[in-house]
Amino acid sequence: QSALTQPASVSGSPGQSITISCTGTSSDVGGYNYVSWYQQHPGKAPKLMIYDVSIRPSGVSNRFSGSKSGNTASLTISGLQAEDEADYYCSSYTSSSTLLFGGGTKLTVL
Amino acid sequence: EVQLLESGGGLVQPGGSLRLSCAASGFTFSNYAMSWVRQAPGKGLEWVSTISGSGGSIYYADSVKGRFTISRDNSKNTLYLQMNSLRAEDTAVYYCAKSGSYYGSGDIYFDYWGQGTLVTVSS
Express each pLDDT in A2-27 by its tens digit.
Answer: 899 999 999 999 999 999 999 999 99
Q: In this complex, do B45 and A91 lie within 8 Å of one another by their Cβ atoms?
A: yes
Please check the confidence at residue B103 and state whether its pLDDT lies above 90: no
Express each pLDDT in B36-61 by its tens digit.
Answer: 999 999 999 999 999 999 999 999 99
Please check the confidence at residue B104 and state whether its pLDDT lies above 80: no
Q: In which band, very low, low, confident or very high, does the pLDDT at B28 lie, cut at 50, 70 and 90?
A: very high
**In b/e form, how buried is each residue of A72-85, taking b as 16+ CB within 10 angstroms?**
bbbbebeebeeebb
Q: In this complex, do A52 and B61 lie within 8 Å of one another by their Cβ atoms?
A: no
For B13-122, strand residue ranges (E) read 18-25, 34-39, 45-51, 58-60, 68-73, 78-83, 92-99, 110-113, 117-121
| Interface-testing mutation among B109, B113, B117, B118, with chain A (most A C-beta atoms within 10 A) | B109
Q: In which band, very low, low, confident or very high, does the pLDDT at A75 lie, cut at 50, 70 and 90?
A: very high
Q: In this complex, do B47 and A101 lie within 8 Å of one another by their Cβ atoms?
A: yes
Report which of A29, A38, A6 is spatially closest to residue B113, judged by C-alpha positions.
A38
- Across residues A48-64, what is the average pLDDT? 97
